[in-house]
Amino acid sequence: MPDIPIAKNNSYLHTTLFRWLLKLLVTAVLLGFIFREVNFPVFFNTLRSMRAGFLSLAILAFFPAQFVIAYRWWYLLDQMGCHQPYRRIVRLSLLGQFSALFLPGRISGDVVRVFGMAKGSKLSGRVALSVVFEKLFLLIAIATFASVGWILKSPLSPFVGVYLSSLGLFVFALGGIVVLGRYRSTKLEHRIKKWQERWPTSIRNITSPMLERNIPRLPYNVIAVAIFQGFGLQFINICGSYMMARAMDIVVPLFEWAVIQAVVSIVQVFPISLGGLGVREGTIVLLLSLYSISSGQSIAYSLTGFLITAVLITSSWLIAEAIERNT
């Protein structure tokens, strides 16, 4: 009997490792396929000729974005009666982003955040629900920006499926906020708990209390503020990525760039590669080709942005951890 839990743990570890290796393989295949179509002289020339001014602005945009990311989560936790120091939220937020870059599937970063915040706490349900809300509020902003291209009659307008998908995501996110934030019910709680039977025990233990009726509902003014915060964060991300693109002489109208970034964000939700590598690059190459931008420039932009983001997130998290240990 004592060997059974160990066997289950080994099986879970083997499954996790297999999925990670599979995603690594998918990432390598996608990048290999994309690089076959790249004009390498253009690729390297784009990297050599980056404009330092625009690049500096893109890097600077990273820092207000991190404070907004942390503040959004802190605000939701506070409204749900889970009061935490803002400094701790910043540290766990950076840890979650670091995990999302290097662990299989972007959801892994959220799981790490929930475990880090809920450890030793009786409010695990509120923590898990706050992360769900955080994603839903941001999804509303992303879906809205993704729909702007149809209104602007941009080169993206013929892609009707993009706008239908954006509308579906908007309705899904808003419906999820209303149901989970305002109208949690016993029937819904029972149905979700049935789904949870298929999840790993560690995750199930965190998420099972999410629909408890003692969790405070979100007032409509709080929902409005959280939606506004989601738009603010997406706007900062758009500005930062736009500066990065301008550093590489990729010129697209700002509002149309907002649509491109929103579509890329939606595509990256699907956890089929590590850190979105390959999927993001392929999407960017496809969308920028509509503006007669070469694949070499597009790949240089995407990979440079990923590398800079990874370095900034890793170094910021290490600094936050060092500060935490010394206080």
Angle between the N-to-C axes of helices 220-247 and 124-152, in degrees from 0 to 180, rounded to the nearest 10:
60
CA distance 74 to 89: 6
Q: Express each pLDDT in 204-219 by its tens digit.
A: 555 555 555 567 888 8
Q: What is the per-residue pLDDT for 198?
A: 64
Q: Going by C-beta distance under 8 Å and a sequence separation of 6 or more, which residues neighbour residue 198?
A: none
Instruction: For residue 104, give the 3-state DSSP assignment.
Output: strand
Domain locations in the chain as residue ranges: 3-325
Neighbours of 86 (CB within 10 A): 14
Residues 273 and 260 sit within 8 Å (Cβ to Cβ):
no
Residues 108 and 201 sit within 8 Å (Cβ to Cβ):
no
Q: What is the per-residue pLDDT for 9?
A: 44
CA distance 30 to 147: 27
Q: Which residues of the chain have pLDDT under 50?
A: 1-9, 12-13
Angle at 73 between CA 69 and CA 74, to 5 degrees: 110
Q: What is the per-residue pLDDT for 63?
A: 93
Q: What is the per-residue pLDDT for 113?
A: 84
DSSP string, 257-308: HHHHHHHHHHHTTS-SSBTTTTHHHHHHHHHHHTTT--HHHHHHHHHHHHHH
Neighbours of 232 (CB within 10 A): 16
